[in-house]
């Protein structure tokens, strides 16, 4: 049986190109449009939040999958770039999210090619089960660097 869960945020305009965000899980912060859209540098932007939502969700799903594939995860770091297309009429859309995870795992006596295959399966599962990645229209590209330590 399907079920639903609801998440919420509240935003408030605080003047000029500034806003304040309160997330349902507790954190609060100021935000702005990005500098190229008459906003301010050094604070959260909706574009940053979009890319961060996908990156954090995929990471959490990778950790979940790594546990299920019994990987000895030593470290995970991922730089994700979102490519935004600005049309002539000024409408905008993210066309691509490019994930570049660097994943270090222990071999634990298994052949490197077996461990590499398990890491890649875990990455596929992470993408498959990522709520955010499944909720966007953008092309998703994952280009991992996998480091296997013996």
Each residue of 5-32: pLDDT tens digit? 999 999 999 999 999 999 999 999 999 9
How does pLDDT run across 92-136, given as a tens digit for each residue? Answer: 999 999 999 999 999 989 999 999 999 999 999 999 999 999 999
Q: What are phi and psi of 6, to 5 degrees?
A: -115, 135
Task: At 52, list the tokens.
Answer: 């961060």
pLDDT > 90: percent of the chain = 95
pLDDT digits (tens, 9 = 90+) for 54-75: 999 999 999 999 999 999 999 9
Residue-level pLDDT at 1: 87
């Amino acid at each position: 049986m399907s079920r639903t869960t609801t998440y919420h945020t509240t935003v408030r305009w605080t003047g000029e190109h500034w806003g304040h965000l309160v997330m349902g899980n507790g954190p609060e912060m100021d935000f702005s449009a990005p500098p190229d859209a008459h906003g301010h540098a050094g604070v959260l932007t909706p574009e940053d939040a979009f890319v961060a939502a996908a990156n954090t969700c995929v990471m959490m799903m990778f950790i979940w999958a790594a546990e299920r594939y019994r990987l000895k995860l030593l470290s995970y770091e991922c730089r994700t770039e979102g490519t935004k297309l600005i049309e002539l009429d000024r409408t905008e859309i993210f066309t691509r999210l490019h994930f570049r995870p660097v994943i270090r795992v222990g071999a634990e006596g298994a052949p490197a090619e077996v461990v590499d295959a398990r890491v890649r399966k875990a990455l596929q599962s992470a993408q498959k089960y990522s709520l955010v990645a499944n909720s966007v229209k953008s092309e998703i590209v994952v280009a991992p660097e996998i480091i296997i330590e013996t």
